[in-house]
Chain A
Amino acid sequence: MSLLNSYKNAISSYDEVIDQNGQVKPYWKNLFDTLEAVGFDGLEQRNQEIISKLKENGVTYNVYNSENGNNRAWKLDLIPFLIHENEWKNIEKGIKQRAHLLDLILKDIYGPQELIKNAIIPAELVFDNSGFLLPCFDIKQKMQNQIIIFACDLARGPDGKMWLLDNRVQSPSGSGYALENRTVMAKVFPELNKNIYRKRLSPYFNHLQQTVATLGNISNENPNVVILTPGPGNETYFEHVYLSSYLGYTLVQGSDLLVRDGFVWLKSIEKLERVDVIIKRIDDEWSDPLELKKNSLLGVPGLLQVMRLGNVAVINPPGASVVENYGLLAFMGAACKFLLDEPLILNSVATWWCGQEKELKFVLDNLPKLIIKKANRKQGFKTKYCRLLSTSELDELRKIISENPKDFVAQEEVSLSTTPSFIDGKLEPRLASLRAFMVSDGNDYKVMQGGLTRSSSVKDKFVISNQLGGISKDTWIVSDRPNEYFERVVVRKSQQNQQSNSLTSRNAENLFWVGRLFERTLSLNYFLKIVLNRLNENVNDKGLKQQTYLVVLLKSITHLTQTYPGFADEDDESIFENPENELFKLINDPKKVGSVAYDIQSFLNTANQISEKWNADTRRILNLIEESLLSLKDAHSIHQLNFRLDKLYTRFFGFYGNVFETFPRDNGFYLLEAGKNIERILALVSVLRSAFSFKNDEEVESVLMEAVLENHHLLAQYRHIYKSQYSLVAVLGMVFLEKNLPYTLTYLLNNLGECLSKLPKNNDSNRHTDDEKLVLEASTLVNLIDAEELVKVDEDSQYRSKLDKTLEQVFDLISNVTGSLSNLYFNHSVLQHSFFDSIEKIDSDEI
């Protein structure tokens, strides 16, 4: 049986593939022909390719409260959702009308309120609407349309007609995922649209860019545009990063922006840059803690005032969420008649607001057939599908509704069409819904020729939410005529265009810490391997005293990682009888601060904060490092760990190599390099101090010298010059002073100084900044040493005071560079407090 026939047999209700006359729609037939030609094995293979491509591109959707971390890989079905352009034209008319209508409703609610006065919509649905924000009533943006971006969810009923299920206004998401779906599909399955002409998605984004440019042009010829994200914890953070790269807008968080002198400014490490347009991906009430939700750390205090002055445009303006209220869906027809004097082209799914007597009675009488929602979104109320409820649950629900009927909305549970989906190696009919996207050009809306289709993760149920594991689909608007086809390829920020993008103080700090945490992990990893090798060469019977040099080396690890007491416990030497336990924890316990696993975790967290800075290859390596982290966590023996550390080491070097080869030589790069050098110096100095501050037997010191030389990657050079004679004077001379060997202190300090000199200066560019002075002082100390002096020992205590003191000074000086850089460049990270909260300290209102 052909693929198409077997699919037809599986259909149990109205399906997208079949037209009104029971015939297979011709474009679906073409698609099935291609699927047939590829065959099931081929499809399964493409499916795997899609999965790995998405993973490689880091496409995720964060799921709140999930147990296994919160990054969920984005799911993309290899079967697209197809709509013919003739049908699409009608849908377009309907959703454009809806966008216009909501825009007019929005302007009326924050304006003359004619809809309420004329009893078109109930006052309750405005004044008791959590999206109605009083401080927004006097904000009008200069374009005619206030709603600039609009998205709505559509689904097809059994009669073949499209229904509107939901409106998305305050920060519509999904357009980036739609684009990424198309891009991945085009790469993995290029022949799928054989004999099918499909429309392009890119014009939508071009329209968006034009609108943004127009909005920005009001104040600036080269508008500075930012995408304001809540940060990596947000469910659609991938999309924020993706759109920022694709559209060329800087990705910022609230703390990157500052209101001053009636404008919004971006805090970059060089200067404040005026911001003209903000594409807002945080919810309305969080956008300005001064006038809205006062404990919001996501927004920009003073933003609303700048909007009132017309000095910044926000897409979409705060306050727009008022029209997202579910209760309003019941009044769309009347509002359309009132405001546009025409009937709705596209019907909303039948909705009853329980705040009216008649409607309430209807809802209570017909409850088992309905879906119950709260009128206001985000009230922690899970949509109830009443058909699935027991009698007692229904009674309980009736009681809840009757107590506060105004809070509730009932919707008809429409039976929707199914569409073919590739599930577990089979083609199955699944319920689906389509999100359509529109952008205003100021007066009119342009519709994306495609969209984001999501199909149900469960058979016969309508569970399309990404939070609940819905599967997305590429969406094709099919045409009978060929259109000039090409997709704009998404280029991640490359060297050329990155320079034009500002480095925010927050990103500057993150890059610096990426450098530090990268090197922290790397140096520890390297030193651990040195120690593990020594340990393996000298397998000890349990209970026997460890060799002195091993004791010194193990203690060095504790000092290096600052995981006290560890091996440095003066009172308890029993730890040396079985050092593997502690070493195990030092490598794979992610909860132990200072362990390898902990460092990798911190490194990845920081790197993910700035994922827009990494190119595709770097991101792939970051994924590999994450895998390494997991493999460390479930290693069972030191031997296994040792092996996996090797692999990790290579991957870390891969990360750095890729960054080093491709990163633009801008401030961000020099900060990353500075971080790396600081951490390397600190790590090397720490080990040097632990190894040689107290003199040991000559034999012991020989082994230590060899280990230290290895730690500095100098063993080969040393042997070349001095053969196998270990002299501390010679070792220190080399480790401190050799200018051309990359792991010596003098080389690293020079390198660090050079990085710092490249960074912008606030004042006189001919003078050293504080951080440079610290490095200069350390460098002078190092360069002026006399190795003979350093090795001198106090006969009683065996303490090498000169050596220890010098190294301590270098360590402290370099440690202080971070603080000094913070003062200069990372000043954004001050805490924000609301005065309103602490009003109890005010001795007012006392009459």
Chain B
Amino acid sequence: MRYKLRHQTVYTYEEAVNNYQSVLCLKPRDLPSQICNSFDLEIEPLPNKVYTRKDYFGNAIAYFSIHESHKILKVVANSEVEVLPKLLPQISPYTCEEVRQILKTNRPLKIEMFQYQLPTDYINWDDEIKRFAETCLAPNVNFFEGVQLLCAKIFTEFQFKSGSTNVNTPLKTVLKERKGVCQDFSHLAIACLRSLGFAARYVSGYLETLPPLGKVKLQGSDASHAWISVFVPDMGWCEFDPTNNIIPNERHIITAYGRDYADVAPMRGIVFGSGGHKVHVEVDVIPVE
């Protein structure tokens, strides 16, 4: 599938801002299953220069700063992406216990995976989360199927409710209240996996949504999305979408991989000024014939 992507963020400040420093992580990745054909940024007010680099995980990062007085900041990322169909390789036969042993004993693998097994500021766990995980990932269950079970459990038992959480809502609360958004569900699934010694990472990107039957798709109706990527021996990194209980394929567009949301936040910034601000985000994922 080919897509045109448009991700627009508008900040409106109560008081004029004279110094703004920002880091963006918005460019879709080039991967064996995905090609980013074009990417450009429109920033208003125009910064003198945008510096780009690859971060530790290979994600494309853009840095800029603005020093003219402004009350509105607009950042639009436009890209064209081609997503190739993914063939699911044969499911590896390892049980959860076997996978855990492999991760412990295979040294090169252990070194590579270690950072995806650790807790972070946003992904941490207690016994309750561990018990929740164990209901799906019992030692003799096939690992891949166990992860699918976990995603299905989150999908069926949790309510998707936007605005019910924010980035600082602890996972404990998400588990207790049984509601959240894709970011919470991904963090929860990763916490479950890591609590049992597996390696999992956070994927940020987009999902093409379909309009209700017979209706035209509205502009800005899409959103950024998040799901997870789990290391399965013999298969490599496998992606799962706990929010929708599907295995990501051609409709999932990948922007970045990280240990958690903090590594790959689409836009972060430091603003110098008093007064509050509002943010409005619009995302369009438009299929190209």
Q: In whole angstroms, how far apart are the Cα atoms of A680 and B126 in the complex?
A: 63
Contact B65 A831 (CB under 8 A): no
Q: In whole angstroms, how far apart are the Cα atoms of A750 and B5 in the complex?
A: 65
A841 at the interface (CB under 8 A from B): yes
| Interface size classification for chain B | 35 or more
A117 at the interface (CB under 8 A from B): yes
Contact B23 A830 (CB under 8 A): no
A291 at the interface (CB under 8 A from B): yes
B273 at the interface (CB under 8 A from A): yes
Contact B114 A124 (CB under 8 A): yes
Q: In whole angstroms, how far apart are the Cα atoms of A116 and B107 in the complex?
A: 10
Across the interface, A289 reaches (CB within 8 A) one of B111, B162, B183, B270, namely: B270
B266 at the interface (CB under 8 A from A): yes
Across the interface, B268 reaches (CB within 8 A) one of A113, A116, A119, A836, namely: A836
Contact B268 A834 (CB under 8 A): yes
Contact stretch, chosen from B29-37, B48-56, B211-219: B48-56
Contact B182 A847 (CB under 8 A): yes
Give the nearest-CB partner of B57 in chain A. A134
> How far is the CB of A341 from the nearest CB of chain B, in Å?
23
Q: In whole angstroms, how far apart are the Cα atoms of A124 and B111 in the complex?
A: 9
A458 at the interface (CB under 8 A from B): no
Contact stretch, chosen from B130-138, B142-150, B222-230: B222-230
A537 at the interface (CB under 8 A from B): no
Contact A831 B182 (CB under 8 A): no
A interface, by DSSP: helix, strand, loop or mixed?
A: loop
Q: In whole angstroms, how far apart are the Cα atoms of A515 and B187 in the complex?
A: 54
B21 at the interface (CB under 8 A from A): yes
- Which residues of A are found within 8 Å of B280, using beta-carbon distances? 843
Contact A845 B226 (CB under 8 A): yes
- Which residues of A are found within 8 Å of B209, using beta-carbon distances? 847
Across the interface, A847 reaches (CB within 8 A) one of B165, B207, B272, namely: B207
B108 at the interface (CB under 8 A from A): yes
- Which residues of B are found within 8 Å of A138, using beta-carbon distances? 53-54, 56
| Interface size classification for chain A | 35 or more
A832 at the interface (CB under 8 A from B): yes
Give the nearest-CB partner of A117 in chain B. B111
Contact A832 B270 (CB under 8 A): yes
B267 at the interface (CB under 8 A from A): yes
Q: In whole angstroms, how far apart are the Cα atoms of A839 and B169 in the complex?
A: 11
Contact stretch, chosen from A33-41, A300-308, A646-654, A655-663: A300-308
Give the nearest-CB partner of B116 in chain A. A127
A168 at the interface (CB under 8 A from B): no
Across the interface, B48 reaches (CB within 8 A) one of A117, A261, A841, namely: A261
- Which residues of B are found within 8 Å of A135, using beta-carbon distances? 55-56
Q: In whole angstroms, how far apart are the Cα atoms of A127 and B194 in the complex?
A: 15
B247 at the interface (CB under 8 A from A): no
Q: In whole angstroms, how far apart are the Cα atoms of A4 and B116 in the complex?
A: 62
Mask, A803-845, CB within 8 Å of B = 1, is 0000000000000000000000000001111111111111111
Mask, A278-318, CB within 8 Å of B = 1, is 00000000000111001000000110010011000000000
A128 at the interface (CB under 8 A from B): yes
B115 at the interface (CB under 8 A from A): yes
B172 at the interface (CB under 8 A from A): no
Q: In whole angstroms, how far apart are the Cα atoms of A843 and B108 in the complex?
A: 41
> How far is the CB of A744 from the nearest CB of chain B, in Å?
39
Across the interface, A261 reaches (CB within 8 A) one of B49, B63, B163, B274, namely: B49
Q: In whole angstroms, how far apart are the Cα atoms of A624 and B90 in the complex?
A: 82
Known A-B contacts A260-B65, A290-B21, A305-B63; A844 and B283 likewise in contact (beta carbons under 8 Å): yes
The interface centre, meaning the residue of B11, B65, B226 with most chain A CB atoms within 10 A of its CB, is: B65
Known A-B contacts A290-B23, A831-B273, A839-B167; A844 and B266 likewise in contact (beta carbons under 8 Å): yes
> Could you list 17 further interchain pairs (A-B, Cβ under 8 angstroms) beyond the known A835-B11, A840-B165, A841-B278?
A123-B111, A259-B65, A261-B49, A290-B270, A301-B270, A302-B270, A831-B274, A832-B272, A833-B271, A833-B273, A835-B267, A836-B167, A845-B223, A845-B224, A846-B181, A847-B243, A847-B244
Chain A to chain B: the 9 pairs with minimum beta-carbon distance, closest first: A840-B166, A301-B270, A835-B269, A301-B21, A846-B223, A839-B167, A134-B56, A127-B115, A836-B268
* Sampled A-B contacts (25; CB under 8 Å): A117-B111, A123-B114, A127-B115, A127-B118, A134-B56, A138-B54, A259-B65, A290-B23, A302-B63, A302-B65, A302-B270, A305-B51, A830-B273, A832-B270, A833-B270, A833-B272, A835-B267, A835-B268, A835-B279, A841-B278, A842-B279, A845-B183, A845-B225, A847-B209, A847-B223
A interface vs B, CB < 8 Å? Answer: 113, 116-117, 119, 123-124, 127-128, 134-135, 137-138, 258-262, 289-291, 294, 301-302, 305, 308-309, 830-847
B interface vs A, CB < 8 Å? Answer: 9, 11, 18-19, 21-23, 48-49, 51, 53-56, 63, 65, 67, 107-108, 110-111, 114-115, 118, 162-163, 165-168, 181-183, 207, 209, 223-226, 243-244, 262-263, 265-274, 277-281, 283
